[in-house]
Chain A
Amino acid sequence: MPTITLNNLSVPFTPGSSVLEAARQNGVRIPTLCYHPILKSVGACRLCVVEVDGLRGFPTACTTPAADGMVVRTDTPALRSLRREVLSLILSEHPYTCLVCDRHDRCAEWQVTIRKAAVTTGCENCPKNGQCELQTLVDEVGLSLMPYSISYRGLPVEKKDPFFDRDYNLCILCGRCVRVCQDVRRTGTLAFIQRGSQTLVGTAFDKSHLEVDCEFCGSCVDVCPTGALYDKRSKWEGVPETTARTVCPYCSVGCELDLWIKRGKVVGVRPAGAVLPTGGLLTAPGGAAANTDGAPRNNGMACVRGRFGLVEMVHAPDRVRHPMLRKGGRLIETSWEDALAFLAEKLPAYRGESFALLASPHLTSESAYALQKFARQVMGSGNVDSPTALPRIPRIGELVDRLRAERSAPLRSLLDARSIVVIGANPRLSHPVAAVYIRQAQAAGARLIVVDPRRSELAKRADVWLPVKPGADAALLQELRQALARETIPGEPSNEQHALPQGGAPQGGAVAQAAHCLKTASPCVILYGSGVTHSLAAVETLDAIHDLAGDLQAGVIPLFGAANTLGVLDAGAVAVDEKQNYAGIVQGIANGEIKALYLAGEMPALDELMKLELLIVQDHFLSPNVAEYAHAVLPAASFAEVSGTLVNFEGRAQHFAPAIPPVGDTRPDWWIAAALARALGADGFTYSSAADVWQELDEQERPPVGQAASRPPSALDSQADYPFTLLLERNAYAYRSSALTDHIKGMELCKADEESLYLSVEDARRLAVAEGDLVQATSPAGSATFLAHLSADLPATLAYASINPAHGSQLFVGMLPGSKVCLVKIDKVTS
């Protein structure tokens, strides 16, 4: 190991380290401000200056590579004085009175002023008080006298955008937010604007964050060392009492998050690894430790849902907090004893096939397991399904087999990929952190090939877009394989011409171009999403993907929509029998065979619900659709209040512990299922914790799969009555049976597209539909009304809409076997 001499002490360092990193590896503290471990060092703040023998002047430790035998001094009188000068200059633009006040430790008890009309004049009325890096720096550098008067910028605090406020009067221009936005997230929302002493952080043309397509990932807030950027929700919560590491429950990436806890409530969320430890705070994960296998896979990142959508979900005022029973036509709050007694009395009448359970793929594995065990063993019914986890296709058994056998490549393998193929996925919305890795790989030179029927946002950023007819992915992939076989050895010029595809170029050109890309750029990683798993031809497409992956020796990453799709598959909560799956259950309800339905985080939103004799709803929120028909409502504890396991798309079982006590009278889903079972006198449900359930689940034989007879998929040819193929994007803001956009302030701005239907310009002209008109889409199962938008990114007879199951669009797709694509006719609504 190479060695470096730090302040007369020779110490080893990891090769490739900067002088700063070498110093930190050896416990030598050098003050820093613009440095952040997840960002490229730029040497902007000039606080980490050091003296290096043989180098002129005062180089910055963060940007100077450590070299074997280098002689470095980090703490000389000259350096101390230079740092004091630089820090006092930095503070000249930041309200510093409290920072350099020798009595600031005793201030809180005497402090009497309140905030002065949005002007932060000192630390006591700054949201970052106690967590501010400047506060620790001033002590570290030893600054007690300021030679300059404060130059307050006098800028208005920007509060118009959702989720976080920006007070650039507190900004010290370290540039971390700009770097995380440009270099890490690769969204490029933030930049430096102006120059000289007018320099500020801002957006293009000074537009709002909403206007410049900010993803509101919150990374800028996470890395901000001062109070310049701060969450609206937790702005005045102050320093958390403790933190708890947990796993984000919203999608299958499984980002690790630190929940900030105060007074038994979640007051804030930070992605693991994003926030620097300051002042002895946040040094170690509190509460629960999730993973011990190295750095968090999200590497300090989250997305708008996890970063800003957890606190309000957990503590939403409209959350169901107590069990409710229908009495006299109204749902009345009651105790668990009464609720369980009521159900113990009612449920025995529906033992057997008149009972059905629909469980959400967002449930923990433990809960899904306990619930399906309750349905199968206690109620004696095989009518168990998780309808949003997978489509209702004839070959579902084979699909489940394949998905469970899927060995995903690690998410981080994207960073080493030289080519990436994305099939049927829109990760920017569905899996934003995975999308960041794709953008980072692209920035490092990886080629991107996107297979999508429409020219999606991702397709526009791709090197090659392969338009595909819905359902014809397998054929296209086979074509790609054949083109690959024709490709010459990498590096040698090919005989074929690879002209760039023009608008509407023949597919052969694009396929050949993609093949050339793939042949010359390995390793390759293939990602697929719900466009594959939720298509009628899912099995065929999956086989084709694996054939292609085999040819390319590529890794495969399945982007499951829900947080725990693999977990509920393993727990046996997905039906493989056609009669017992969602479609069969809905039919059973319609024809009266199924009389009792247990909804655990699912909401079918069917008119037939009124026919049920017993409807049990178990969730966080009560949606109006089911509130009307529910006989019993059981309040489920959220992920923050339970322990459990989520299996991410890599197949990694991520255990997490409760961060706070259950809100109100809520209980874990598994606990409710077990309590019901015991109330019905069943044995084998004496779990004292989620760990007990996990142990039993882990020892379990995997449920049998692949029993249903194979049958060729019905082709999705346009029928005369339904001339349009409608692509349906399941809205990423759906969680269990609710829509985050309904419960989280600011999130509603993210659903702008929800009621929109995109039509090709050609179709719109034929239907005499103009931008903004209302159109009705009608399928064999039902209809829904949308706002029409004209799109140049769609071919004729293809339409596109984003739907949120919680908002009832399933009214017309619910009965269809595949929920990603359906045949519709489209009519202009004339009032």
Chain B
Amino acid sequence: MDNHPLINCIAVCSDSGCLSGGGEAVRTALVAALERKGLAQQVEVRATGCFGFCEQGPIIITRPDQTFYVRVKPQDADAIVTQHILGGKIIDRLLYRDAAGVKLPTTEGMGFYAKQRRRILRRVGEIDPEQIDHYLATDGYRALEKALKTMTPESVADEVERSGLRGRGGAGFPTGRKWRMARIAPSNSKEMAGRKFVICNADEGDPGAFMNRSLLEGDPHAVLEGLILAGYAVGAQQGYVYIRAEYPRAVRKIEKAIRQAYERGFLGKNILASGFDFDVETRLGAGAFVCGEETALLQSIEGRRGNPTPRPPFPAQKGLWGCPTTINNVETLANAAPIVLYGADWLNSTGTETSKGTKTFALAGKVRNTGLIEVPLGISLREVIYEIGGGIQNDKTFKLVQIGGPSGGCVPAEHIDKPLDYESLRALGAMVGSGGLVVMDEDNCAVDVAHYFLSFIQAESCGKCPPCRLGTLQMLHILDRIRQGEGEAEDLNRLLTLADAIQKGSLCGLGQTAPNPVLTTLRYFRHEYEAHVIEKRCPGRVCKSLITYSVQSDRCNGCTLCARACPAEAILGDLKQPHSIVIEKCLRCGACLDACNRDAILVN
């Protein structure tokens, strides 16, 4: 067991998140420290995928004892080697402290992990994603072997259908049924009769979402195996991984995985002597959000501008180069291998009646614990926000959570006990989407939030159809007016009329869902809109035109910090005398608010 990949190593998170926090320097420092002690051969420093708790990065885990060190710096390397590895003593100061101040040596008992079910992410953070042997040692490619040797393509699709797996990219279409549709569709295009394609959609573009990237960086073979299984089930000869170029590390890892799979005979001609031929290539997106939309993605792979095309025909009938094509999200595909290997119940046993299995989310915003999480579908928002997320920062009041990316919607505090699943979220006006969760508190303004997401959609509209290209622009103009205190009562009806026309008139899903951020905020926070329009007041104290800053003289001790921070020289006052703000000069930048350490700045 000594050479089992899961023991005897220092696992260093090398996901893009921890790397940006200095993870790579920590890793090299650990390698150097081990070398200095002559331990380079005995202890492996392993660059793994994401542990999830990005808030606390860079994180390392020593194995086999599973000690969980957070916010590690390169200068900690020597201590880790001498004290922990050689001395067997846990380094107290590098341990995670929970909200109550208790130090926890492992993930055991951590609120962040307690309610999670890391099933899709089970290898992420454990194995070295660049070593196919690690993948193979953890049941890797056994599903493929089982499928090719003992199952027909139909039974693979059946098993997936029975598992209840639904698309993890947004719409939640049953995956098994999708495969079957492409399987039975005739391939009779003039040039490529008989050809079918499967595509892994890794064009993750929602602001703040990084689940697919982490999965591809942490366990690329799991996605690849799912793609090969999809190819087998559909009857395709070729697969593509369509991945955004802004994910260079994920691109490198999936491309390396593809090369390794060819070397070991999991790709290419006559895979595992089954007679099944299958090839996979990557295609890089050029930075357009809309290319995550299936038909736009197909246009992009064909070398054209990524503009969506009308359906019918559906990709399952006429997709890539006119051939039946199945497009699955990264996470959907990662579910395929365990379903095939362990049976439909592997997925079935978790989740709700209609939403089976687990789902990864990128938890962000004003919660204490942010990061990559995986939870069973059906978990309540309260559990996610207050248990996994550890509650709202600074004990502020929870206001809303934005779910499902820019096309998703905002769920208010009153629905915090609703389950996280496809149907409930849709009923609330939001959607599971690809899995972004942005938590906001009392200091956020609903109008501002709607404006942020809508401006993203507007900038990323392909421009083809007027409702999306111009309708969202007009909505944005109205939101701008409202934020500037120039809104009129009629504007709210105008927003609803426009939203209706955009939903009904847009060509693709991106356009049809574009008004969601506005519609859900209008639905749950109409009073905030009205406050802006009628009272000319921003309850979240965010919209600059509607707020003023002032100094509470009873709190101000005249330290001059705020005056020095002010870029507009709008703060007057002598040393040790209460200061005051000249409203006409104030830019509402909030620099004074950040600078003051006596809470003396008041926002009205």
Contact = CB atoms under 8 A, between A and B. Distances in A.
Given A46-B466, A90-B470, A197 B461 contact: yes
B504 A57 contact: yes
B307 A192 contact: yes
B305 A191 contact: yes
Nearest to A149: B477
Interface in B458-480: 458-467, 469-471, 473-474
22 contacts: A42-B464, A44-B465, A45-B465, A46-B465, A46-B505, A49-B505, A59-B310, A60-B310, A64-B310, A65-B312, A85-B467, A85-B497, A89-B471, A148-B474, A151-B473, A172-B466, A173-B463, A191-B305, A195-B463, A197-B458, A199-B469, A444-B190
B509 to A, nearest CB: 11
Contacts of A198: 463
Contacts of A197: 458, 461, 463, 469-470, 473
Contact of A85 (B290, B309, B310, B501): B501
Which residue, of B290, B458, B459, B464, has the highest number of chain A Cβ atoms within 10 A? B464
A196 B459 contact: yes
B310 A89 contact: no
Contacts of B463: 173, 192, 194-199
A86 B504 CA distance: 10
A89 B469 CA distance: 9
A43 B310 contact: yes
Contact of B505 (A86, A173, A445): A86
Contacts of A172: 466
Contacts of A60: 310, 507
B288 interface: yes
A89 B501 contact: yes
Task: In the A-B complex, list the 8 residue pairs whose CB atoms are closest, starting with the nearest.
Answer: A199-B463, A85-B501, A43-B310, A89-B470, A63-B310, A197-B473, A196-B459, A89-B466
B473 A86 contact: no
Contacts of B464: 42, 44, 173, 175, 192, 199
Interface string A147-158: 110010000000
Interface residues of B, number: 34
B355 interface: no
B303 to A, nearest CB: 11
Interface string B492-518: 001001101100111100001000000
B584 interface: no
A343 interface: no
A785 B247 CA distance: 58
Nearest to A62: B310
Nearest to B306: A195
B353 interface: no
A809 interface: no
Contacts of A195: 288, 290, 459-463
Nearest to A197: B473
B395 interface: no
A577 interface: no
B470 A92 contact: yes
A166 B164 CA distance: 55
B2 interface: no
Contacts of B465: 43-46
A64 B313 CA distance: 9
A650 to B, nearest CB: 26
Interface in A203-252: none
A46 B305 contact: no
Contacts of B312: 64-65
B501 A86 contact: yes
B469 A147 contact: no
B469 A85 contact: no
Contacts of B310: 42-43, 59-60, 63-64
A224 B190 CA distance: 31
A38 interface: no
A175 B507 CA distance: 15
Interface in A53-104: 57-60, 63-65, 82, 85-86, 89-90, 92-93
Given A58-B504, A147-B494, 7 more contacts: A57-B512, A58-B505, A82-B504, A90-B470, A148-B474, A173-B469, A199-B469
Interface string B299-326: 0000001010110100000000000000
A151 B477 CA distance: 11
Interface string A677-701: 0000000000000000000000000
